[in-house]
Amino acid sequence: MIETRAPGKLYVAGEYAVVEPGEPAVLVAVDRYITVQLNESRDVGRIHSSEYGQAPLVWHREADNQSIVLEHRPADYVLSAITAVEELRSEIGTAPRYFDLDISSELDDANGRKFGLGSSGAVTVATIAALDEFYALGLTRTERFKLALLATIAVAPTASGGDLAASTFGGWIRFTSPDRQALRAHREKHGVASALSCSEWAGSGAARLTPPETLQLLVGWTGSPASTERLVERVRLPGAEAQQPYETFTSDSRACVDALVTSFAAADGRALECIRQARRLLQRLGASSGSQIETEQLRNLCDIAESYGAAAKPSGAGGGDCGIALSDAELPTIDILREWERHGIRRLSLSPHAAEGDIDDF
């Protein structure tokens, strides 16, 4: 049996802008996980997950051994991850095998409601790690990230890959996304092995960050799951289909992210103002695009934290899910947490997941 796991993530700054190639964001991996167990099987493969109900998802191979076929075929990140690895395996001449996957998650509550911690990214990363070990492909951590992104954009073309980078590399990172449309086109024309090292990755990358020890992170959950893909598409609708986001959003976001990264390096105490600026940018983007990025519950979460001296903002696409608060480590948090609870906001007891391995150049 092979067992792998991948952590969830939180966006700290740079949401929405990061979907544009080369635009930066800051993320942190957190200590809740997707776990994948893999066992070799015969004749058919099965995928067990609470996402699919009580019965497993069953798949088999077509006669050419190259194609994966589901008995019932949803658009699914796990299947896309399997397909990407199988394509790579075939291209490098590794023989096909059957396997079962058993997937468990700490990234949702007892009722299956997602916390907004990047479960799709984490399950993709964990699945690829398990198959890398199963087929003895010997992928580097950066190659596993790239393969995870190629798999993800086959399902969600606008996905930035920030969640995948956090789940792959752990810790706090600054991430910039590649041109995913160009990557998809390269894979379709040249195959996945070539796509792992093609020039279309230029301008993207990930770098480790070390926030000052004087900062503490609080995470609150509104209890209202949100769809990142729908919210991002809403903001990016062309022409008359939506109001136009304000023109300088990406450059303003980049300046905010760069200031936060600089503050982390200098430990100069300006990080809280950077978080407040990131919140203002999201508020302005929501107003200009006609999208509810900061819901009433997220506004309560942020305003309560601000009233006690912390800095807070939605994490990710907004519309529900999580908000984060950064504060001085010496600031008592009991009043913030008590007010959150009174407003129906659940604290998630999360800590950063430690950095893992090296980050090679993309």
44 and 131 together in one domain:
yes
Query: Do 111 and 29 fall within a single domain?
Result: yes
Residue 113 is encoded by which pair of tokens?
């409601």
Domain count, the chain: 2
**Domain termination site, one of 187, 209, 231:** 209
Domain boundary among 209, 242, 263: 209
Write down the number of H helices and E strands in the chain: 11, 12
Q: Tell me the pLDDT tens digit for each residue of 58-97.
A: 888 776 666 666 544 444 899 999 999 999 999 999 999 9
**pLDDT tens-digit series, residues 199-249:** 999 999 999 999 999 999 999 999 876 666 666 766 654 444 445 566 789
Q: What is the CATH number of the domain that holds 195?
A: 3.30.230.10
State the Rg of the chain over Cα. Answer: 20
Residues 311, 326: Cα–Cα separation, whole Å: 5
Pair 86, 66: CB distance under 8 Å: yes
Cα 225 from Cα 306, distance rounded (Å): 23
Q: What is the pTM of this model?
A: 0.90
Q: Is there a single domain that holds both residue 198 and residue 236?
A: no
Helices (H), the chain: 77-92, 119-134, 141-155, 162-169, 180-190, 192-195, 228-236, 249-266, 271-289, 296-307, 334-342
Per-residue model confidence as pLDDT tens digits over 148-161:
999 999 988 989 99
If one compares 342 and 292, the residue with the highest pLDDT of the two is 342
> What DSSP state is assigned to residue 360?
-
Pair (35, 142) in one structural domain: yes
Among 177, 209, 241, where does a domain finish?
209
Q: Residue 59: what pLDDT?
A: 82
